[in-house]
Structure 1
Amino acid sequence: MILRPATRADLPAVLALLADEERVVDPASVSVTAAYERAFADIEADPRNEVLVLVEGALVVGCLQATYIPGLGKGGAERALIEAVRIRADRRGGGLGRELMERATARARARGCALVQLTSNKDRAAAHRFYASLGFARSHDGFKLSL
């Protein structure tokens, strides 16, 4: 397994992972719109953002987005915000999610981050158990405002 920053060529596979958590979506069926192209280009150009892919052979089996946030808390250290964590539906249960998260956490640690944080939909009980098994603690309630 290789964990690496996503390239533009990985974009259809990443979008396929994000399209449906319950089934495998063929990357060739995904429409890569101009909005996705812009968003990916912005992420790729920003040294505080990265989309990481977990690759087995030529197959993207997982992904996440990490955003490194500077702050005055934690002694001025960065924190890593992890979002959009996905493992291919047909590859779950074999430890790939753990590998993806452990490697992403190691990247954040190597970068000097003082903590890793994430949010998860309240309805995703299995995901919450998974994050707890990795040592993540429920420490805050999150709030969102759709615009």
Structure 2
Amino acid sequence: MIFRTATREDLPAVLALLADGGEVRAAVGEAQERAFAAIEADARNEMMVLVEGGVVLGCLQLTYIPGLGQSGRERALVEAVRIRADRRGGGMGAELMRLAVARARERGCGLVQLTSNKERADAHRFYERLGFARSHEGFKLRLAD
């Protein structure tokens, strides 16, 4: 398996992974093109994919946030974690997260954080098995549909 930065050619596969989670439609539209270009152009954002045999099987987005806490080190925010439905349960998600944590560590981050929908009990157990702790209560304010 290869863990690498996503390219524009990976965008349809990444959107298909996200659609499986009910977040976005799989078709590549203008808004997704703009968002991907913005991620690609921003040194503090990375869309990463896990590829095997040329097929995108997983993805996640890493955003590096500067801050005064953590002795001035960045924190890495992990979002949009997905593994293709037919490959779940075989350790691929754990490997994807292990690689993301290693990437954040190599960058010098002092912390890796993520949020997960409160109703996703299986995901919570998964993240806890990987060493993540429930340390904060999250809040969101939706500004657009």
TM range (shorter): over 0.9
User: Which residue type is aligned with residue 64 of structure 2?
Assistant: Y
Alignment: residue pair count = 141
CA contact (8 A) 1:21 1:89 kept: no
The residue number in structure 2 matching 1:15 is: 15
Identity %: 74
User: Which residue type is aligned with residue 2 of structure 1?
Assistant: I
* Structure 2 spans left out of the alignment, 5+ residues: none
* Structure 1 spans left out of the alignment, 5+ residues: 23-28
Alignment of 1:1-147 (within 5 A): 1-21=1-21, 30-147=26-143
CA distance in 2, matches of 1:13, 1:31: 10
* Divergent runs of 4+, >2 A: none
Tell me how large the CA RMSD over aligned residues is.
1.2
Secondary structure at the aligned position of 1:94 is classed as: coil
Secondary structure at the aligned position of 1:43 is classed as: helix
Q: TM-score, normalised by structure 2?
A: 0.95
Q: TM-score, normalised by structure 1?
A: 0.94
